[in-house]
Amino acid sequence: MINGSSHLYSTGKVCDLREQENYICLTGIILPSVTKEDLKTMDTKFIKQRSDTWKTARVFARVTGSTCFDALGFSSLKKQREHFEYVFESKEKPEFSTEVRKLMKHGSDNEINAVATLVSKVLPDFLPRYSFFEEGCYIVFQENTLALLVSPDGIIRSASNPIDVQCPIPTYGLEIKCSCPCPGNVYKPLVYYDIPYYYVPQLLCEMAVLKTNSLIFVCYSSETSTVFEAFFDDELWDVLQSRMSELYTKDDSKCPKKHWENRLTVTEKLKNYGKEKVRFIAELPSVVAKECDHKPVATCDEDFEYSHNVHTNRLPRQNDNCIISDLHGLVNEMTESVKEAFNLCRHMASEVVLFLIADLDRAHVPEKQHAIPIAYAMKGYSLTTAIARKMLNDVLETCYNGGLYVPVVSFDGQCYQMAVRSANGDPLTILQLMKDVFKTAKGQKKSDFIRYIKQINCVHVETQAEAFSSITHRVDVMISW
């Protein structure tokens, strides 16, 4: 690799994390017991995820990154009420179904494989000067209430000071999802090619607590993994944070009885987030991890010591030599891959659109055809009027520049709208205008018509003098009393 990170790149199916220099694991804090007051002074980012201490901390939190979507009522009112009753009334939530527990176990078991894919495929290719750091959790207190607990799947930051605890704000957060294969559905993709909107609140929570503007989202499967970069949305986060504070920071909060009035609007913003704030990076082959030997948590005998652990590649580092012929071959392969991808993704043409030119007589004899094709286009499943109009204008302009004047254009009913509407959508015929007026009027109520008629030529004044003054300005003959 020409970026100097070939020693980090895994060419096989297995990644040995014991020798992966850009993988920084965590030996986390362990405590026999922990209270809410302890969490106020504790550096919680060193609490090992899935440890007993971490699970206890999550119990104190009213909202977590993974429950934010349900807690704010975006999934359903029933799930929001269940979460609310769990927080304020200590009422147990319904147990997960067997299928859901299977999916959750699949995600937990394969998260380390996703991390191995990240450090041995993604980072060497796209972020060669960055390393992965395992993290604990981050806690947000509001009004002496543990309002939010977020557990990112890691952070990505510069590897210049890999174990410096006081290292500045990370460059990227990290969120990992492990898609579980569906044996009965062979048509469902194994990975995401768009980030589902129900993950957006979790991503924003992570970026907010990490104080970073970017996050790497990895979707892992046993065959390939997709990688995205998500960006922080201040406006959307302010809306979510405000709603979260309104519901869960006060002890006397009332359980919601109906959906939030802005729910549909905010849900639409969550769906648009993937189009406006997410960038697809790549789909790469996945690897399986061979875990390192470091302890997951410190023992009590070690006085609760915790640390980030660095790994060293024991193999001799090879020089990254690259010759021009290799680069030339690589560029050719990339060009062919792009062409192949284009041919696989493009829509197959169902029809051909043909432009013919003829004289006004349209005389036809066997030796002389009445029309000659001058342009054509391959048509897909649909052809909008706007596109057809642009195609026709281009053909007419080309003919005019070539000295051919085309006074008449004829076409079939598929392009009928070009004859009755302008490019701006305005009606060109009286009949079309009447149709537009009728379409607008037929959906109105009788009371709306009466209100409109009563307001025609109505003069809004406050006094009688103003009324006479307004009338005299609108008539030619002055009225005398």
Asked, for residue 465, whether it belongs to a domain, the answer is no
**Do the beta carbons of residue 197 and residue 267 sit within 8 Å?**
yes
Work out the average pLDDT over 366-384: 81
Q: Are 366 and 272 within one domain? A: no
Per residue, the 3-state secondary structure of the chain, as one string, reads CCCCCCCCCCCCCEEEHHHCCCEEEEEEECCCCCCHHHHHHCCHHHECCCCHHHHHHHHHCCEECCCHHHHCCCCCHHHHHHHHHHHHCCCCCCCCCHHHHHHHHHHHHHHHHHHHHHHHHHHHHHCCCEEEECCCCEEEEECCEEEEEECCCCEEEECCCCCCCCCCCCCEEEEEEECCCCCCCCCCCCCCCCCCHHHHHHHHHHHHHHCCCEEEEEEECCCEEEEEEEECCHHHHHHHHHHHHHHHCCCCCCCCCCCCCCHHHHHHHHHHHHHHCEEEEEEEECCEEECCCCCCECCHHHCCCCEEECCCCCCCCCCCCCCHHHHHHHHHHHHHHHHHHHHHHCCCCCEEEEEEEECCCCCCECCECCEEEEEEEEECCCCCHHHHHHHHHHHHHHHHHCCCCCCCCCCCHHHCHHHHECCCCCECCHHHHHHHHHHHHCCCCHHHHHHHHHHCCCCCCCCHHHHHHHHHCCCCCCCCC
Considering 410, 428, 458, which residue would you say is the last residue of a domain?
Answer: 410
462 contact partners, CB below 8 Å, separation of at least 6: none
pLDDT at 14: 92
pLDDT at 459: 64
Q: Which of 78-92, 215-229, 397-411, 459-473 has the lowest mean pLDDT?
A: 459-473
Q: Are 173 and 300 within one domain? A: yes
Q: Domain range spanning residue 393? A: 349-410
Work out the average pLDDT over 418-434: 90
Is residue 142 pLDDT above 70, yes or no?
A: yes
Alpha-carbon distances of 375 from 39, 126, 130, rounded to whole Å: 73, 44, 53
201-205, 338-342, 363-367, range with greatest mean pLDDT: 201-205
pLDDT at 236: 96
Work out the average pLDDT over 431-446: 87
CATH number at residue 43: 3.90.320.10
Asked, for residue 157, whether it belongs to a domain, the answer is yes
pLDDT (tens digit per residue) in 398-410:
999 999 888 888 8
Work out the average pLDDT over 337-352: 86
Q: How many alpha carbons fall within 13 Å on the CB side of residue 392? A: 16
Asked, for residue 469, whether it belongs to a domain, the answer is no
Q: Are 298 and 369 within one domain? A: no
Considering 312, 335, 357, which residue would you say is the last residue of a domain?
Answer: 312
pLDDT band at 324, cuts 50/70/90?
confident
Q: Are 232 and 93 within one domain? A: yes
Work out the average pLDDT over 311-326: 66
**Do the beta carbons of residue 321 and residue 47 sit within 8 Å?**
no
Q: Are 121 and 63 within one domain? A: yes
**Residue 407 CB: number of other CB atoms within 10 A?**
5
Asked, for residue 432, whether it belongs to a domain, the answer is no
Is residue 313 pLDDT above 80, yes or no?
A: no
Considering 410, 428, 445, which residue would you say is the last residue of a domain?
Answer: 410
pLDDT band at 472, cuts 50/70/90?
low
pLDDT at 101: 87
Asked, for residue 421, whether it belongs to a domain, the answer is no
Comparing C-alpha atoms, which of 66, 111, 67, 109 is closest to residue 87?
Answer: 67
Is residue 182 pLDDT above 70, yes or no?
A: no
Distance, CA of 189 to CA of 203 (rounded, Å)? 22
Q: Which of 15-19, 33-37, 272-276 has the lowest mean pLDDT?
A: 33-37
Q: Are 21 and 137 within one domain? A: yes
Q: Are 199 and 284 within one domain? A: yes
**Do the beta carbons of residue 236 and residue 270 sit within 8 Å?**
yes
Q: Are 202 and 248 within one domain? A: yes
Is residue 168 pLDDT above 70, yes or no?
A: no
Is residue 254 pLDDT above 70, yes or no?
A: yes
Q: Is 120 exposed, middle or buried (0-12, 13-18, 19+ CB in 10 A)?
A: buried
Q: What domain count does the chain have?
A: 2
Q: Are 304 and 359 within one domain? A: no
Q: Are 48 and 188 within one domain? A: yes
Asked, for residue 447, whether it belongs to a domain, the answer is no
pLDDT band at 13, cuts 50/70/90?
very high
- Could you tell me the pTM of the whole model? 0.70
Alpha-carbon distances of 475 from 85, 464, 478, 479, rounded to whole Å: 71, 17, 7, 9
Q: Are 74 and 213 within one domain? A: yes
Asked, for residue 175, whether it belongs to a domain, the answer is yes
Q: Are 179 and 304 within one domain? A: yes
Asked, for residue 135, whether it belongs to a domain, the answer is yes
